[in-house]
Amino acid sequence: MSENTRTPRTLTTRAAKQRVWQPPSTLPEPTPEEGYTFRWVRVATLGKTDAKNISDRFREGFEPVRAEDHPELQAHAITDPKNRYVGGIEHGGLLLCKIPNEFVAQRNAYYNNQTQRELEGADNSLMRENDPRMPLLRPERSTEVSFGSGK
């Protein structure tokens, strides 16, 4: 009997490439540009133009992304010569637009301020109804978190 000196095949085969399945992205993602945030803006719903929405976004500071600036998205570029966004990138009634990051930060600050003012208004309205004999809220708003045995 001769001993088998061969290396087992499981040790000599190349390692299988690790692949992970992911659902396909609904919208293609452009290559990031420094200083800009991208967003898909609705230009049509059920085949009808949504002029108010696109006008609002343009006044807010969004500008259409040109297909020539993002060749990786050329397959999604508009080809209809009668369309207002010739050279843009449209996908299912959405137009790819970009906005400077400074505008995004300013918009976020504006809406955070609005939210804070509304919360303060609601708290003030509620506290007007407060009676010291039966308080609606505790004077301090604090929470405590403890871990373990609480020692």
User: Which domain, by its residues, includes 91?
Assistant: 37-100
List Cα–Cα distances, 104 to 9, 66, 144, in angstroms: 57, 20, 35
Question: Model-level pTM greater than 0.85?
Answer: no
Q: Classify residue 26: in a domain, yes or no.
A: no
Residue 83 domain flag: yes
The residue-averaged pLDDT of 26-35 equals 87
Does any domain span residue 116? no
Is 129 inside any structural domain?
no
111 belongs to a structural domain:
no
In a domain, 49, yes or no: yes
In this predicted model, what pLDDT tens digit does every residue of 105-131 receive, in sequence order?
A: 999 999 999 998 988 888 888 777 777
Q: How far apart are CA 90 and CA 40, in angstroms?
A: 9
66 within some domain: yes
Q: Residue 6's pLDDT band (boundaries 50, 70, 90)?
A: confident
Query: What is the DSSP secondary-structure string of 85-130?
Result: TTTBBEETTEEEEEEEHHHHHHHHHHHHHHHHHHHHHHHHHHHHT-
Any residues with CB less than 8 A from the CB of 112 and at least 6 apart, and which? Answer: none
Total structural domains in the chain?
A: 1
Q: Does 59 fall in a domain?
A: yes
pLDDT, tens only, 33-70: 899 999 999 998 887 888 999 999 999 999 999 888 88
